[in-house]
C-alpha cells in the first residue's frame, strides 16, 4: 500500500503520455498527420511568404473536392479491412456518362441520379463478389476498375464538353466571405465528409464497420449484420465515385474517359496518411480529410516551387512509407501490450 | 476423367476455345506467312507481344506463391525503360553494341534494387505486400518521369530495337527471350528444392519457419526476381516503341499479370504455383486482347471484356459456386443419401478456402 502511495507522485506527464498513447493508439497516426499538415503549411508560408492566403487555401479545398469525396468512401471500405481499386475509373465512367447524357439533351434531374446510380451499381457488383463469393476485395475491385474504365471508353472515346447551366453553376458560383470563397462543389464535399464522419462515429452501421475491421468473426458472433454492412461499404464507395464524377465534371467542364487514372492510389495514400489502418478496424473520416489536405498541400507547394509534378508522387510515396512503418510499430506495440 | 482433373485442363481448354472461336470467325486469324525467311502472322505477333507480360507474370507467380503480391511491376518497367533509353540517348554513339549493353545492364540492376527494396519491406519489416509494393507503385512512375525529365525520350539504336523487333531463326527475338527466361525459372524452381520451399512458405509461413525453412530469404528473392523480370520487360517494352513513356509504360500490367497468374490456376492465397499455367494464362490474355481488336472493338474499350473474364474466373473458383455445382449434380443423380459430405479435390480445396476465410 505504501509502495503505491510513494510511487503515485512519479506518475509524471511522461507516464500520462504513455498511458494516453497506449489507450488511444488509434488516434496517434491521425494526430501525426495533422502535425505534418501544420509543418507543411507553416514551412510553405515561411518559404514563399504568400502561401497561407485565404484565396490559396480556398483553392486547396476546391481543387481536391473530388478527392475528398472519394477518400470518404474509401475510408469505409478500408476500415472493414477491404480495398477499392475501382474509384478512379468509376469516377471517369460516371463523369463521361453524365456529360454524354447532358449533350444529348436529357434533363439534369435525371442525369445526376443516373450518375450516382451508375457508381453505386459498380460498387454493388464489387460488394456482392466480396461478400457472397468470397472474392478478395483486391480482385473484385480490380474487375470494377476494368469495367469502369472500359465502359467510360464505350460511352465516348474523346472528351465531351458540358454546357449545362445547373452543372456549371456547381463550380462557377462563388460564395465569398472576405477573401475566402467556396463553390457548391466544395460545400458538397464538406457535407459528404460531415455525413461520413457522423455515420462512422455515431450510427449502428458505422460501429459495425469498425467491428468487422477489428474481427469479422467476432462481429458475426455478436450478431451484427456483417453481410449487409460489407456489401454496403462498397456501395457507399461506388456512390462516392459517382458523386466525385459529378464534381470533377463540374470542375473541369467536361467528361473525359481518361480522367482519374491512378487516382485510386492517390486516394488510398490519402486515407492511409490520414491514419486509417490498411488492415482495418481503425481510422477516421476526418483523418482522411487531413490526408487529402496533406496531399493537396504537397501538390500546391510543388507547383509553387515550379518543380516537376512527378515529385508529388515521390513525396506522397515516401510519406505513405513513413506512415506504414509508424503504424506497423504502433500495432506491434499494442499487440504486445494486450 | 483423369484428363479433366488435371489442373492445367481448364486453362488450356480456355485458350483452345478462344483460338477456335477466332479461327471460325475469321480463318485468317491463324494464318502464318513466310517472308524473307521469317514468319509473320497473328500467332507470331501474339508470341512476340506476350513477352513483357510473360516476364512480369512469371515474377508475379513466384511472389504470389509466397502469399504476396507485387503491384510495383508496372512502375519498375517504366523506370527500367527510362534508365536504359536515357543512357542510350546521352551516349555519343547510340547505335553501338557496347552502349546498349551498358544501358541494359544498368537498367536491369536498378530494377533488381527496386525489387530488393520491396522484398526488404515485406520480409524484414513485415509490411503487408499490397501496401509495401504500393509505395513503389506510386513513387516509381514519379522517379521514371524525373529520369526522363518529364518528356518522352525517343532514340534510334539498331541493337536496342533488335530486342523487340528483330528476328532470330524464323521467330522474333522477344519470343526467344521469354522462352529462355521461362526455361531458366522452371529449371531453378523445379529441379532444385527452391520451388518446394517457396510453396511451403506460401502455404504456412509459421510451420515452414519451425521446420527450418529460411522464409525471409525466399520471400526476399521472390520480390528480387519479380523486380528483375519487370526490368527486362521494361526494356523489351521500350524497345518495342523505342520511346520511354513513363506515364504509360506498363500501365495496368500488374493487374493483367495477376489475371494471367490466376487464369493459370495459381491461387492468390499462396502456396502451389504453376509456371506452365502462367505461360498459358499469359497467352490467353494476349490472345483475348488480339481477339477484341480483331472484332473491331477499339483497344481502349477492351477492359470491359477483361472485367467479364475476371468475374467469370473468380466465380468459377468461388466456394459458393462449387457448392451450387455440387448441389445441381447431386439433384441430377437423384442420390437419396443427402447430407453426405462432399468429396474430391475440388470439394476439399473449397472447404479449405472456407476455413481460411473463416480464420
B138:A324 CB<8 A: no
Contact A208, A181 (CB under 8 A): no
> So what's the pLDDT on residue B359?
40
Which residue of A lies nearest to B309 if distances are taken between CA atoms? A143
pLDDT grade for A68, boundaries at 50, 70 and 90: very high
pLDDT tens figures, B35-63: 777 788 888 888 888 999 999 999 999 99
- Grid cell for residue B267: 491461387
Give, in words, the CATH class of A27-325: mainly alpha
Question: How many CB pairs below 8 Å do chains A and B form together?
Answer: 130
Euclidean distance between CA atoms A82 and A283, whole angstroms: 13
pLDDT tens figures, A135-163: 888 888 888 998 999 999 999 888 888 88
Beta-carbon contacts of residue B311 (< 8 Å; ≥ 6 apart): A125, A129, A143
- Grid cell for residue A130: 466480396
Nearest by Cα to A60 from A243, A241, A182: A182
Average pLDDT of chain B to the nearest whole number = 83
B143:A314 CB<8 A: yes
pLDDT tens figures, A170-181: 888 888 887 888
From the CB of residue B248, how many other CB atoms can be counted at a distance below 10 Å? Answer: 15
Among the residue ranges B87-91, B99-103, B246-250, the one predicted with the least confidence is B246-250
% chain A with pLDDT above 90 = 40
pLDDT tens figures, B195-207: 888 888 888 888 8
> So what's the pLDDT on residue A211?
93
> So what's the pLDDT on residue B291?
85
DSSP codes of every residue in A135-181: --HHHHHHHHHHHHHHHHHHH-SS-EE---HHHHHHHH--EEETTEE
Break chain B into its structural domains and give their ranges: 43-302, 318-334+342-359
- Give chain A's radius of gyration (CA, Å): 21
Euclidean distance between CA atoms A163 and A255, whole angstroms: 11
Mean predicted confidence (pLDDT) in B105-134: 91
Euclidean distance between CA atoms A115 and A239, whole angstroms: 9
Euclidean distance between CA atoms A186 and A320, whole angstroms: 26
At A210, which helix (H) or strand (E)? Answer: helix A204-214
Instruction: State yes or no: pLDDT of B350 exceeds 70.
Output: no
pLDDT tens figures, B166-182: 787 788 888 999 999 99
- Whole-number Cα distances in Å, B336 to A199, B328, B331, B340, B344: 51, 14, 9, 10, 19
Q: Which one-letter DSSP state was computed for residue A81?
A: T
pLDDT tens figures, B140-175: 888 898 888 877 778 787 788 888 777 877 888 889
Euclidean distance between CA atoms B227 and B118, whole angstroms: 8
Break chain A into its structural domains and give their ranges: 27-325
Mutation site for A-interface testing, chosen from B123, B127, B135, B138 by largest number of A Cβ within 10 Å: B138
% chain B with pLDDT above 90 = 25
A146:B306 CB<8 A: yes
pLDDT grade for B222, boundaries at 50, 70 and 90: very high
Nearest by Cα to B170 from B53, B46, B33: B33
For residues A121-156, one letter each, b for 16 or more C-beta atoms within 10 angstroms of the residue's C-beta and e for the rest, the string is: bbbbbbbbbbbebbbbbbbbbbbbbbbbbbbbbbbb
Q: Which one-letter DSSP state was computed for residue B124?
A: I
pLDDT tens figures, A226-271: 999 999 999 999 999 999 999 999 988 888 888 888 888 889 989 9
B145 part of contact set with chain A, CB < 8 Å: yes
pLDDT grade for B347, boundaries at 50, 70 and 90: very low
pLDDT tens figures, A273-317: 888 888 888 889 999 999 999 999 988 888 888 777 778 888 888
Which CATH code is given to the segment(s) B43-302?
1.10.3470
Q: Is B243 helix (H, G, I), strand (E, B) or coil?
A: strand
Amino acid at each position: 500500500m505504501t509502495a503505491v502511495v510513494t510511487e503515485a507522485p512519479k506518475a509524471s506527464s511522461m507516464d500520462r503520455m504513455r498511458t494516453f498513447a497506449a489507450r488511444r493508439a488509434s488516434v496517434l497516426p491521425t494526430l501525426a498527420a495533422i502535425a505534418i499538415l501544420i509543418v507543411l503549411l507553416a514551412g510553405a508560408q515561411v518559404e514563399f511568404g504568400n502561401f497561407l492566403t485565404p484565396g490559396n487555401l480556398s483553392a486547396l479545398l476546391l481543387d481536391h473536392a473530388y478527392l475528398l469525396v472519394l477518400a470518404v468512401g474509401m475510408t469505409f471500405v478500408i476500415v472493414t479491412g477491404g480495398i477499392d481499386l475501382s474509384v478512379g475509373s468509376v469516377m471517369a465512367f460516371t463523369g463521361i456518362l453524365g456529360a454524354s447524357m447532358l449533350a444529348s439533351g436529357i434533363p439534369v434531374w435525371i442525369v445526376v441520379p443516373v450518375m450516382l446510380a451508375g457508381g453505386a451499381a459498380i460498387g454493388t457488383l464489387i460488394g456482392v463478389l466480396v461478400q457472397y463469393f468470397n472474392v478478395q476485395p483486391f480482385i473484385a475491385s480490380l474487375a470494377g476498375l476494368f469495367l469502369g474504365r472500359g465502359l467510360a471508353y464505350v460511352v465516348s472515346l474523346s472528351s465531351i464538353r458540358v454546357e449545362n447551366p445547373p452543372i456549371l453553376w456547381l463550380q462557377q458560383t462563388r460564395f465569398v466571405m472576405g477573401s475566402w470563397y467556396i463553390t457548391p462543389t466544395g460545400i458538397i464535399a464538406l457535407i459528404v465528409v460531415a455525413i461520413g464522419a457522423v455515420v462512422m462515429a455515431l450510427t449502428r452501421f458505422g460501429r459495425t464497420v469498425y467491428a468487422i475491421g477489428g474481427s469479422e468473426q467476432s462481429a458475426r458472433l455478436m450478431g451484427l449484420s456483417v453481410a449487409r454492412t460489407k456489401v454496403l461499404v462498397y456501395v457507399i464507395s461506388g456512390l462516392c465515385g459517382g458523386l466525385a464524377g459529378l464534381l470533377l465534371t463540374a470542375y473541369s467542364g467536361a467528361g473525359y474517359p481518361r480522367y482519374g487514372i491512378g487516382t485510386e492510389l492517390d486516394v488510398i495514400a490519402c486515407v492511409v496518411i490520414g491514419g486509417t489502418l490498411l488492415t482495418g478496424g481503425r481510422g477516421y473520416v476526418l483523418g482522411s480529410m487531413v490526408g487529402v489536405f496533406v496531399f493537396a498541400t504537397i501538390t500546391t507547394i510543388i507547383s509553387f516551387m515550379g518543380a516537376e509534378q512527378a515529385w508529388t508522387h515521390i513525396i506522397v510515396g515516401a510519406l505513405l512509407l513513413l506512415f506504414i512503418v509508424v503504424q506497423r510499430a504502433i500495432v506491434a506495440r499494442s499487440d504486445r501490450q494486450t | 476423367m483423369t484428363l479433366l482433373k488435371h489442373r492445367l485442363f481448364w486453362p488450356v481448354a480456355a485458350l483452345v476455345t478462344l483460338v477456335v472461336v477466332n479461327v471460325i470467325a475469321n480463318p485468317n486469324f491463324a494464318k502464318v506467312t513466310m517472308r524473307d525467311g521469317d514468319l509473320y502472322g497473328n500467332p507470331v505477333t501474339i508470341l512476340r507481344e506476350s513477352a513483357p507480360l510473360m516476364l512480369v507474370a512469371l515474377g508475379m507467380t513466384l511472389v504470389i506463391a509466397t502469399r504476396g503480391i507485387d503491384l510495383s511491376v508496372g512502375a519498375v518497367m517504366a523506370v527500367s525503360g527510362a534508365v536504359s533509353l536515357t543512357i542510350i540517348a546521352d551516349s555519343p554513339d547510340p547505335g553501338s553494341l557496347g552502349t546498349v549493353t551498358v544501358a541494359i545492364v544498368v537498367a536491369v540492376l536498378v530494377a533488381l534494387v527496386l525489387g530488393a527494396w520491396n522484398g526488404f519491406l515485406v520480409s524484414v519489416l513485415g509490411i503487408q505486400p499490397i501496401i509495401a509494393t504500393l509505395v513503389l507503385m506510386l513513387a516509381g512512375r514519379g522517379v521514371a518521369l524525373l529520369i526522363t525529365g518529364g518528356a518522352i525520350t525517343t532514340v534510334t539504336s539498331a541493337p536496342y530495337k533488335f530486342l523487340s523487333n528483330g528476328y532470330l531463326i524464323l521467330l522474333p527475338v522477344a519470343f526467344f527471350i521469354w522462352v529462355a527466361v521461362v526455361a531458366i525459372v522452371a529449371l531453378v524452381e523445379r529441379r532444385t528444392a527452391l520451388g518446394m520451399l517457396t510453396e511451403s512458405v506460401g502455404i504456412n509461413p509459421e510451420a515452414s519457419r519451425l521446420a527450418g525453412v529460411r522464409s525471409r530469404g525466399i520471400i526476399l528473392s521472390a520480390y528480387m526476381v519479380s523486380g528483375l523480370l519487370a526490368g527486362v520487360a521494361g526494356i523489351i517494352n521500350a524497345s518495342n516503341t523505342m520511346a520511354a513513356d513513363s506515364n504509360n509504360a506498363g500501365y495496368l500490367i500488374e493487374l493483367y499479370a495477376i489475371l494471367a497468374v490466376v487464369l493459370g490456376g495459381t491461387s492468390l492465397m499462396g502456396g502451389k504455383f504453376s509456371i506452365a499455367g502462367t505461360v498459358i494464362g499469359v497467352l490467353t490474355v494476349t490472345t483475348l486482347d488480339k481477339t477484341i481488336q480483331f472484332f473491331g472493338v477499339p483497344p481502349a474499350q477492351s477492359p470491359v471484356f477483361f472485367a467479364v473474364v475476371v468475374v467469370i474466373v473468380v466465380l468459377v473458383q468461388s466456394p459458393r459456386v462449387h457448392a451450387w455445382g455440387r448441389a445441381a449434380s447431386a439433384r441430377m443423380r437423384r442420390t437419396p443419401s443427402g447430407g453426405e459430405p462432399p468429396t474430391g479435390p475440388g470439394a476439399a480445396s473449397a472447404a479449405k478456402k472456407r476455413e481460411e476465410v473463416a480464420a
